[in-house]
Every structure is written in structure tokens, then in C-alpha cells.
Structure 1
Amino acid sequence: MSRPASASAPAALPASGSVSPRMTTPWLLIAPSLILALFIISYPIFNIVYQSIHEVSRFGAIRDFNGLQNFYTVFSDPVFLDATRRTIVWTAFVVGGTVLISVPVALVLNQDFHGRGVARTIVMLPWSVSLTMTAVVWRWAFNDDYGMVNVTLQRLGLIGGPIHWLATPELAFPVEIAVGILVSIPFTVTILLGGLSSVPGDIYEAARIDGASAWQQFRQLTLPLLRPFINMAILLNVIYVFNSFPIIWVMTQGGPDNGTHILVTYLYELGFRLGRPGQAAAVSLIMLVMLFVFSMVYLRMQPSKEGDAA
């Protein structure tokens, strides 16, 4: 008895060169949101590029095409060159100090002790406060006459008179770096705690049985397993700190004598105080290129480092 023809016929295959509906359907579903995201990202970049190659009035009116004149003007400005150097110093010290402090803090908060939840809440609480309000509080704290820092140091007998913390760039900029580190710790600790929670406890038990010390466990177990999270924290903090505006602007507004300007505060002053939107757009593109180059170089370095470590 012969079987029905439908039972023995092979499944129909898509013709050569045709695309299966199963492959196109996901793209059709995400196409609206993808187009919207591309528009949201690309339009501001196009607008900034357009402004950077035109003369723009202080009220935003586009005038004559001037090519790269805005870039030439910016690069010839000594304030821009100093702000670029200071931005690199600001980013390196704030991110480096944040990571160095956050790693031991995360290790302590990852331990099981009484009151751990309260300790975690205290560490994370500054993250919920506006960065601008935090900068205002620290500006009051470093006030020459009634600031908490001067009053405390004088009562302890450590200084004989008030120190003008924010009146000179030599003191103001390190103070702002310290504040930048303090406000960046909660975010970094959160990332590192997430990484520590994924580390299995069995490997530490085995290491203790083998006689490994606490330092050996940290260096050979914790640090390698935590490295991807540290890399992610560094990259995100670089992007965040590089563009961080409120701390420096609220505390010193780039002064005194332009001595604490970084690129983002210099950009704001160009665009909104000096009325040079075209030059401000040029600075925005320079910052975008700097961040893009750093991100690409840093991400490309990670696989080779992990491969070497393995």
C-alpha cells in the first residue's frame, strides 16, 4: 500500500536569492524604533557639524559658510589648549581615584556583617542627590569665611587662618578633583558589587584549603574575575567624567583666571557667555572625536590583555 504523496514530499525551500519571512520579520518589528533612534542620534550631530562650518550669530542664526575657520580660531586660543590638557588631567585623576577607592569599598560591602544593608545605603545615598546640589554644598563647605572645612581645621589647630580654597587654581582644581572622586564612588561601587555577587564562593573555600592568603586570593582570584567589571566602570566613568559640567561650573565657573576650565565648561562659556555658537559647535565635535577615539582604543586593548592574561 503506497503512502500519501504529502507524507513523502520534502518541505518547500525558499528560492535561491530570496529572503525567508522568518529573517525579515524581526527587522520589520524593530525598524520604527531603529529609525527613530538613528534620527535622534544623527540629527544633533549633523546640526553641530553644520554650525561648526558656518558663521553663527550669538542668537543662533546661521550666516556665511566659513569652512574650518571656527576650528582654526579654537585651536589658536590658549584657553582651549589649557582646557584640553586640564580635561585629560581631570578625567585621569577622577577616574583613577574613583576606581582605587571603590574596589576596597566594594570588597568590604560584599562581606557578610551586621548592618551591611545600612552601610550600602549610606554609600549609595549620594547617588540620589542632584550633582548640582552636591556641588553647591561643597562650594559652601570650602567658603573662605564660614565654610565647614576652614572652621573644622581651625578648631583642630591645623591652620592659623582661613585658606582661600577656591580663589586660586592651584587649590581650586585639586579640590574639584576630590569632589569629583567622591560623587563618582557610588556608581562605581554599584558596578563592582554586581561583579562580586557573580563570583562563586566555592573557589575561595578551595583557595583557603590550599593555604592561600587573603592577598593571594584577591590578586589571583578576585581581581581577574572582577576585571571585566572594572573595565566597564573605567569606560563609563571616563565618558561621564569627561563631560561632567556641574562640579567645576558651580564651584568656580572655570575661574579664577580661566584656571579650572575643562572642555565642557569652556564650551558652555563660548556658546552662552561669549556668544560664539559656531566655535562652541567646533569644540563639541573635538570632544566627540576624543571620546570616540579613546573608547575604540580602550575596547580594542581589552581582548589582547585578557588573552595575554589567559
Structure 2
Amino acid sequence: MRNPARRHQALALAMILPSVLLALWIIGYPILDVTRTSLHAVTRFGQLRGFVGLENFSALLDDPVFLASLWRTLVWTVCVVGGTLLISVPLALMLNDDFAGRGLARVIIMLPWAISLTMNAIVWRWTLNGQYGMLNATLFELGVLDGPVEWLASAGTAFPIEIGIGILVSIPFTVTILLGGLSSLPGDIYEAARLDGAGGWQRFRHLTLPLLRPFVNIAIVLNIIYVFNSFPIIWVLTQGDPANSTDILVTYLYKLAFRYGKLDAAAAMSLVMFLVLLAFTIFYAWLLARSREAEA
């Protein structure tokens, strides 16, 4: 008679194998197709020409707009994710407390998440319009401005504004993750800490942060992947202009493929973006493993 444990394992493998193969096909085929495209010369109509090897990648490294977009993407990602965490942690702590109107406060915090990024960006574009935008009108009425300011006409003002909007629309998702983590923390350890005379900062530093770290790690990884590939905010507000000065990788990729017709360069660039995110994920997983080993 066959071993029941092995029989159950074989049955479980047979049940999940189709799903695994489908997932590998869905994920693997686009990667293989993009890799093949990046190694060929491609017409603007998508027809593969001759094999060119790594020439498309070499051309990217010689492209100053690509290098500037890569650096700007790193700044964009670090600033948006870092700013989001700095604001979301205290917000989640406040919303986790029991106070009158907490439900309404949570709804208000979640409102930007209920609206698509494109709609958010369109509203902000109207608000920041230099001629009839609400921001200029409000600042003029308050006496802060003497005349209209074209907020999106230069990278010096446009890019910081886009970072601020990116933080604003990322807060609801991050707060939701952190609230889920806070609601799972045991209350008895906090009561014991209060009885031992621990203050609010001490409880936060020695109890809340260590216990909340897995949820913070999840928020960091998901936000980096999400923000790194975020397209609507910058595209709707400035389309990466003026003169590509607010482009990040994903907006410049769109321009290469659909505005300039350089599908081979766009394929090489999309593969670079995939490898950057893959390298980050592996590196961050390694750091987490090292920190767990150190704690053990």
C-alpha cells in the first residue's frame, strides 16, 4: 500500500502544477519577448530586423536623457517612499487610538485612494495652472503672490510638486498596512510597560517599532515597486517636460516607444528597469535575512 503522505503530496502537486505553469507563462513569456526584442534592431512598426547584441543597451548608456531619468527615478522613489513612511507612521498611530470621530478621520485619509491616480493628477494640474489655477488665486488673495506663477513650467518647481503629490496619494495604502499591523499588536505588553513606568516615546521605540517592522518592510517593498513604475502623475502634470527635465524612467520609456518609435531602445530600457527592481528585491530580502540572523 502506498504511503498516504506521499499520495497527498503528489495530489497537491498535481493540483497546483497548472497554476504554477500558467504563472510562469504569464510572467516568463513577456520577459523572454522583451529580451529578444532588446537584442534586435526593430522598426517603428514592431518588425524585427538584424541581431545587434548589446548595442541597444550601449546606446542607452550613451543617452544623457536616460542617465538623467535614471537618477531622477532614484530621487523620486526615495523621496516619495521615505516621505510617505514619515507621514504614515504617526498618522497610523493616531488613527489607531480610540477617539471621537475616528471613523470619519479614517475615511478622509482613505479618500485619495478611492480616486484614480489619473483623476488625482488632472485635479492637481487644474489647481496648479498658472493662469486660472486655484493655488495661484488663493495665494494672490492672501497677499503671498503679486502675480501668476507657472508652477509646472520649470523642473525646479514641477518636480518637487510631483513628489509631494506622489506622497499624498501613497499615504492611504501605507496607512492601511500599518493600521493592520497595529491592530494585531498585543495590548498586554503595553499595559505592562506603562506599569513599569515606560513613557510614550520609550513604548514606541522599544515595543511599537520592533513589532511593526514586518509591516513597515511590506510597505517599503510594495511602495518602491509601485512608485518606481508610477506613470500617471508625472505624465499628466508635465509629460516629463520641459525638455525631459521631469522625466523618470517609465515616462521616458513611453516616449521612446510611442513618441520616438524606438521600440528596440524601449525594450532594452524596460529590461533594465526590471533588473533594477529585481536587484533591489533580492538585496532587500538579503538585508532582512541578515537582520533576522542578528536578532536570533
Report TM bin, short chain: over 0.9
More displaced 10-residue stretch of structure 1: 209-218 or 183-192: 209-218
User: 1:42 maps to which residue?
Assistant: 28
Query: Across the two proteins, how many residue pairs are aligned to each other?
Result: 295
User: 2:128 maps to which residue?
Assistant: 142
CA shift digits 1:143-184 (9 cap, x unpaired): 101111111111111222222110001111000000000000
User: 2:86 maps to which residue?
Assistant: 100
User: 1:171 maps to which residue?
Assistant: 157
Q: Helix, strand or coil: the match of 2:112?
A: helix
Return the TM-score normalized by structure 1.
0.92
**Which of 41, 63, 70 pairs up with 1:77?**
63
**Offset at residue 62 of structure 1 (A):** 1.3
User: 2:37 maps to which residue?
Assistant: 51
**Which of 167, 175, 184 pairs up with 2:170?**
184
* C-alpha distance in 1 between matches for 2:20 and 2:284: 27
CA shift digits 1:260-280 (9 cap, x unpaired): 000000100000000011100
**Which of 68, 72, 88 pairs up with 2:54?**
68
Q: Are 2:254 and 1:268 equivalent residues in the alignment?
A: yes
**1:171-250 maps to which residues of 2 (within 5 A)?**
171-250=157-236
Q: Helix, strand or coil: the match of 1:150?
A: helix
What value does the CA root-mean-square deviation take over the aligned residues? 1.3
Larger radius of gyration: 1
**Offset at residue 117 of structure 1 (A):** 1.1
User: 1:292 maps to which residue?
Assistant: 278
Identical positions, percent: 59
Letter in 1 for 2:208: T
Q: Helix, strand or coil: the match of 1:20?
A: helix
Where does structure 1 lack aligned partners over 5 or more consecutive residues?
1-11
**Offset at residue 309 of structure 1 (A):** 4.8
User: 1:6 maps to which residue?
Assistant: none
* C-alpha distance in 2 between matches for 1:175 and 1:20: 59
* C-alpha distance in 1 between matches for 2:291 and 2:122: 41
Q: Helix, strand or coil: the match of 1:55?
A: strand
**Offset at residue 306 of structure 1 (A):** 3.9
More displaced 10-residue stretch of structure 1: 262-271 or 139-148: 139-148
Return the TM-score normalized by structure 2.
0.97
* C-alpha distance in 2 between matches for 1:154 and 1:182: 24
* C-alpha distance in 2 between matches for 1:293 and 1:33: 26
* C-alpha distance in 2 between matches for 1:79 and 1:123: 37
Q: Helix, strand or coil: the match of 2:49?
A: strand
**Offset at residue 307 of structure 1 (A):** 4.1
Letter in 1 for 2:211: L
Q: Are 2:279 and 1:280 equivalent residues in the alignment?
A: no
* C-alpha distance in 1 between matches for 2:143 and 2:239: 31
Letter in 2 for 1:215: W
Letter in 2 for 1:214: G
**Which of 104, 109, 124 pairs up with 1:123?**
109
Letter in 2 for 1:275: G
* C-alpha distance in 2 between matches for 1:168 and 1:239: 27
* C-alpha distance in 1 between matches for 2:125 and 2:168: 14
